[in-house]
Amino acid sequence: MQQQLSNININSSLRARVVGCVRSEQTREVLYELSLSTEFYECETLAELNEYLLNQSLLSLPEVLLLEVDEQGECFKLIEKLRANIMLKGLIIVLLSDTPNAAWRTRAMQLKVHDYYEAPYPVNDIYERLNFLIKFKLIRPSLKELANEEVIKTFKLPVGKRIFDIVFASAMLLALSPLLLLVALLIRLESKGPIIYKSKRVGAGFKIFDFYKFRSMYPDADKRLAELQALNQYTADGAPSTFVKFKNDPRITRIGRFIRKTSIDELPQILNILKGDMCVVGNRPLPFYEAEMLTSDEWTWRFLAPAGLTGLWQISRRGREEMSERERKKLDNFYAKKYCMKFDLKILLRTLPAALQKSDV
pLDDT band at 13 (very low <50, low <70, confident <90, very high): very low
CA distances from 352 to 63, 109, 263, 348, 349 (A): 48, 36, 9, 8, 7
Q: Which of 53-57, 65-69, 101-105 has the lowest mean pLDDT?
A: 53-57
Mean pLDDT of the chain: 77
d(CA 248, CA 237): 20
- 12, 17, 23, 24: CA torsion to nearest 10: -20
Q: Which of 35-44, 151-160, 272-281, 327-336 has the lowest mean pLDDT?
A: 35-44
Helical (H) or strand (E) element with 104: helix 102-110
* The predicted structure's pLDDT at residue 178: 96
pTM: 0.54
* The predicted structure's pLDDT at residue 146: 46
More confident residue, 151 or 206: 206
Residues of the chain with CATH 3.40.50.2300: 3-140
More confident residue, 283 or 156: 283
Q: Which of 118-127, 277-286, 301-310, 343-352 has the lowest mean pLDDT?
A: 118-127
Strand pairing report for 286-287 and 196-202: antiparallel
* The predicted structure's pLDDT at residue 119: 85
Q: For the domain bounded by 3-140, which CATH number is listed?
A: 3.40.50.2300
Cα angle, residue 146 at apex, residues 109 and 78 outer, rounded to 5°? 30
Q: Residues 124-132: what's their mean pLDDT?
A: 74
Q: How many CB atoms lie within 10 A of CB 349?
A: 10
